[in-house]
Structure 1
Amino acid sequence: MSSIICRVHPLPPGKQGGWLSQSLMREWGCQQGQSIKIRIGGKSLITRILGGRHRGRNILLPRPLAAQLHLPWFGETRAVFRNKELHLGPVLGILTTGFTGSPSMPFGSRSALFRQFLIASREDRPFFYVFTPEMVDWTRQVVYGWFYRKDLSGTYRWVRKLAPLPDVVYERVPNRKAEAQTQVQGCRLLFQQMGVPIFNQGFFNKWMVHEALYNHPLTPDCIPEAHRSPSIQTVEDMLERHRMVYLKPSGGSLGLGIFRITRGPQGDYYCRFRNGDRNVLRKFRSLPPLMTQIFGRQLNGLSRYLVQQGIRLIKHEGRAVDFRVHMHKDRSARWTVAGIGAKVAGAGSVTTHGRTGGSLLSTSELLKKTFPGKEADMENRIKETSIRICNALEGHVKGPLGELGLDIGVDYQQKVWLFEANSKPGRHIFLHPSLWDAGKQSAHYITDYSLKLAKF
């Protein structure tokens, strides 16, 4: 049985138990005076229900009973009735770190990101808050969560309210350092022990992604060759085969610490990398001095890198282009493409990241210019490949996945390649005017998938 939107009212003083409108009594097959369990998030109690004369889908609860359940507020929310249990909500929580104490920006610059998710959820009426591990009172089984709601003047503001533990947790810890905190690890463990679904736990390791996909039957043709902790000879062999390779930190992100090495027609070696706010190109006669220039004589740090086959990507005005494909699971738990952003590398840059001078373009316009007459087919191939990648990858990660950011490349032979997969994808592609509506839908998919996990 799927959930429906109901209105929860306070019961007038002096009346006991829970009251349902006649239409809900009939719809759910409830009997007058029947004992049921009412649950909101991690809180529940047993009470008798009675049928009232109210029309529509209305639920009336005594204020003391609502207080026991830590109902965040009266009003509209979703409800599902099964096995003599009335489940209201659901209660959804975004787990993060970095609380600032500011009432207007409680999570600093990321408050705007979380606000998008909470605003997008309104039409589905869940109880949706943002919280850090320190905001959980495990003894009382409640959370001092931050909601984004209208105040008495009609202005939307961040509001801190006491609420039940969530039915579902969407993890949005900002970085690996924060993820390693004892409080975060302990919080996740306790939720797991309670059976609370947590989706998008942790960060991906590039080598784990490569190992999961390189020989997977769903993705045999879109994963570049790569080797972990390479020796100089391994890099040399890769250059012999591909003429261009990338050295990437296995656990890196945001394009930091990446080197592109190219072997020229005269046997020289060229290395591009980012140094501070500059894109740098250096030339070497042979590979060993290049490698010692980067990693030192002892090649310290190379063990934390992987070498990846370089792909000759399509270009826009002489600059390489790749695509960020933002993927979500919908309410049926099927992977769908929320948006595709075309990213153009900055002048002399190793990557297409904005911080290194990269910029966004319309995907449809770029594909039309690059593959005239075949642009629709090319876009469909990017989408189809992305869905295959997501289906292959989710069997190799801990816990459910509901969102992924894929860095996809296309070469001039129209072959589609995966470079990286991100479990905490940024949303910068939705800043492009062609993707504004897609950005709103993307934010709503978080609620969609949460409803699926909560069995609503």
Structure 2
Amino acid sequence: MNNFGIMSLSLDHENHYIHQMAKYGHDLGFTLYHFVPSTYHPFTHTVKGKKYLPESDAWLESEFPVPTILYDRCFYHDDSHSIQCKNIIQWLKKQPTITFIGNGLPNKWELYQILRESKLAAYIPETFLLQSANQVNFQSLNPVIIKPINGSQGNGLYFIEKSKEGILVRTDKKEQTVEKIFSDRMTFNKWLNQLLKRSSYLMQAYLPLSNQEKQPFDIRALLQKNTQAEWKVIEKGVRIGEKGRIISNLSVGASIHAFEEWFRFTPFKLKSFLKQEMEEIFTLLPSILENSFSALFEIGVDIGITPDGSLWILDVNSKPGRKVIMTAYPHLCEKLYKAPVLYAAKLADDKRRNLDEKAISYRNNH
């Protein structure tokens, strides 16, 4: 039996997904574990978490050696627990006995610097690292969007616009869009500088990514490697936010639609050209990322289209959620539950083959 560990910042995170994965993992010869990296004990090389018991289809709380194959599903923020888990994972990645099924991507700023120099540069909105409120220049950019360098699910994203009344700041909370008007630049700068003390932020020109009904929308594509280590587009789904919202994230009540069905009724001109552009992105992106960083298993790509038909890469994520694809295409659920363990099985076979080849080579040379 191979040991396959799934890591998250809490044992309550993605429970349904992890449970389904565990059921398929057992059929492929894996013992499945779920743990939080901060429980790692450096002297015993053990962690505390849960072990999947196939005979009762349940989980047993236990302490166990770090599994040999790991799947990182940790979503980091700027808190101390995230930093602790991140440091432990970085250390585990250096251990020769441990294999990660994907190594993850750096923060949004490092990612931007690679993508703006790549063949996909035309699809990347110009982005600035925001270190002081004085950098917000409304003569050159108005309105602007600022978002955290390590953010996910649209958390901490702000829309900022200068008007006659003052400086308007809006952000989406679960229940509603919250807005505040600063009457002068000094009070706005004070607010923004306080925000920048807590987290690092990026700034971009605001892109009008709404449909004719003034609903924000974006396209989420999920790419994964198959058992031959070839990248495949699993599917594309569309998130449509509530009217007047800034973002179309599920955390603030967006609806989900299958891409082709939605695309058929959109008013965009040159639809075949837009599809070609998307295919170009999905073909080029994995190799750009893996050549600059390290091996990946899956990528979530968020794409926006402005009313004039311009296509933009809004975000690239190495730990994508599956809700958009599973909701739009329920028949793909089983495939998505199986994919990580199938790929883990391929990596375990590769590792075994390499060890066998080394052993044969050693015997032949001695």
TM-score by length of 2: 0.79
Displacement after TM superposition at 1:228 (Å): 0.6
- Give yes or no for contact 1:170–1:199 (8 Å, CA) kept in 2: yes
Instruction: Please state if 1:193 is matched with 2:95.
Output: yes
Q: Which residue of 2 aligns with 1:417?
A: 312
Q: Which residue of 2 aligns with 1:125?
A: 29
Residue type of the partner of 1:211?
A: Q
Q: Which residue of 2 aligns with 1:345?
A: 241
Deviations for 1:316-360, whole angstroms, at most 9, x for unmatched residues? 632121012222111222222222221112232221112323221
Q: Distance in 1 between matches of 2:333 and 2:278?
A: 19
Q: Which residue of 2 aligns with 1:428?
A: 323
Q: Which residue of 2 aligns with 1:292?
A: 189
What is the correspondence of 1:86-235 to structure 2 with a 5 Å cutoff? 89-98=1-10, 107-121=11-25, 123-133=27-37, 146-151=50-55, 156-159=57-60, 166-176=67-77, 177=79, 178-181=81-84, 185-186=87-88, 188-190=90-92, 192-201=94-103, 204-216=106-118, 218-229=119-130, 234-235=135-136
Instruction: Please state if 1:246 is matched with 2:145.
Output: yes
- Flag the 1:299–1:362 CA change in 2: closer, same or farther, 3 A: closer
Q: Distance in 2 between matches of 1:282 and 1:96?
A: 35
Q: Which residue of 2 aligns with 1:63?
A: none
Which structure has more strand as a fraction of its residues?
1
Q: State how many pairs are aligned.
A: 348
- Flag the 1:262–1:362 CA change in 2: closer, same or farther, 3 A: farther
> Counterpart of 2:316 in 1: which secondary structure?
strand
Q: Distance in 2 between matches of 1:141 and 1:278?
A: 46
Q: Distance in 2 between matches of 1:310 and 1:146?
A: 44
- Give yes or no for contact 2:3–2:32 (8 Å, CA) kept in 1: yes
- Structure 2 stretches lacking a partner, 5+ long: 351-366
Which structure has more helix as a fraction of its residues?
2
Q: Which residue of 2 aligns with 1:271?
A: 169
Displacement after TM superposition at 1:374 (Å): 6.2
Q: Which residue of 1 aligns with 2:156?
A: 257
2:334 to 440, 445, 448: 440
- Flag the 1:310–1:332 CA change in 2: closer, same or farther, 3 A: farther
- Give yes or no for contact 1:406–1:418 (8 Å, CA) kept in 2: yes
- Structure 1 stretches lacking a partner, 5+ long: 1-88, 99-106
Q: Distance in 2 between matches of 1:139 and 1:234?
A: 48
Larger Rg: 1
Deviations for 1:271-330, whole angstroms, at most 9, x for unmatched residues? 3223574303456687x358437415x785498221113222251632121012222111
- Give yes or no for contact 1:272–1:349 (8 Å, CA) kept in 2: no
> Counterpart of 1:129 in 2: which secondary structure?
strand
- Give yes or no for contact 2:130–2:202 (8 Å, CA) kept in 1: yes
TM-score by length of 1: 0.65
Identical positions, percent = 22
Displacement after TM superposition at 1:232 (Å): 5.4
- Flag the 1:408–1:163 CA change in 2: closer, same or farther, 3 A: same
Q: Distance in 2 between matches of 1:303 and 1:164?
A: 35
- Flag the 1:275–1:443 CA change in 2: closer, same or farther, 3 A: closer
- Give yes or no for contact 1:222–1:417 (8 Å, CA) kept in 2: yes
> Counterpart of 1:319 in 2: which secondary structure?
coil
